[in-house]
Amino acid sequence: MTKGMRFSLRMLVFGVMLSVVALAQSSASGQQSPRADKADSGTQNQSGGAKAGHSDDAYVIGANDVLAINVWKEPDISRSVPVRSDGKISLALVGEIQASGQTPLQLEQEIAKRLASYISEPEVTVIVTDSKSQKINILGMIARPGTYLLTSSTTVLDAIAMAGGFKDFAKQKSIYILRKAPDGGEKRIPFNYKDVIKGKNSEQNIRLLAGDTVVVP
């Protein structure tokens, strides 16, 4: 065998060795990727399984609201329920429970407390899917009289704006708010629009409560 042939043979062997090493590295890399993907997938699944947050933790549940109640890994208990006129709801294992007057977070805690006798560390989520209790009425000499959804920060000025402002000849100094009193009667709260927009008697621009009626004479 000549020197040239021996050299060619060594180069051929060397090339084969390089190919084997490259193939081994590629295989190792390919084996690690599925594990990494699996780990990433696990992280995503854990994230996806987290409880949904509340849109408004200050919201107070009222009669006729519709609640989506989810108990993690308990489909037989999870359900959508309306709040009855007496302010209560009914759930499997829980029975009747007062929902009206509580925030979603408070109701979650109460339901979880009752379920603890049957389920280990129950995870409960309560979300208001249809707010029918938190509404106000705007009547009288206003562009769009009617019923409007109440947010936690709606003031008298906000309500007037939502209803499109005043009609001609509205008595802007004699507006009043009718509010249900604890004794079952009604309280009349005056609101002088002319003064308030001038910076006078700004305390009259109160935050409205569910069930309030703004009257524009």
Q: Which residue has the higher pLDDT, 100 or 42?
A: 100
What are the tens digits of pLDDT across the range 57-99?
Answer: 678 898 889 999 999 999 999 999 999 989 999 999 999 999 9
What whole-number percentage of the chain has pLDDT above 90? 60
Higher pLDDT, residue 134 or 213: 213
- Residue-level pLDDT at 210: 87
Q: Which residues pair with 213 in a beta bridge?
A: 137, 178
Task: Report helix, strand or coil for 8.
Answer: helix
Q: Residues with Cβ < 8 Å from 181, sequence gap 6 or more?
A: 187
Q: Quick one: pLDDT band at residue 54, thresholds 50, 70, 90? A: low
Average pLDDT over residues 90-115: 94
pLDDT in tens, 125-152: 999 998 888 889 999 999 999 999 887 7
Q: What percent of the chain has pLDDT over 70?
A: 73
For residue 38, the SS3 value is: helix
Residues in the chain: 217
* The predicted structure's pLDDT at residue 56: 54
How far, CA to CA in Å, does 190 sit from each of 159, 193, 205?
15, 10, 10
Amino acid identity of residue 83, one-letter, is V
Considering the chain, what is the average pLDDT of its residues?
81
Say if CB 127 and CB 59 are below 8 A apart.
no
* Range of weakest confidence among 1-15, 43-57, 189-203: 43-57
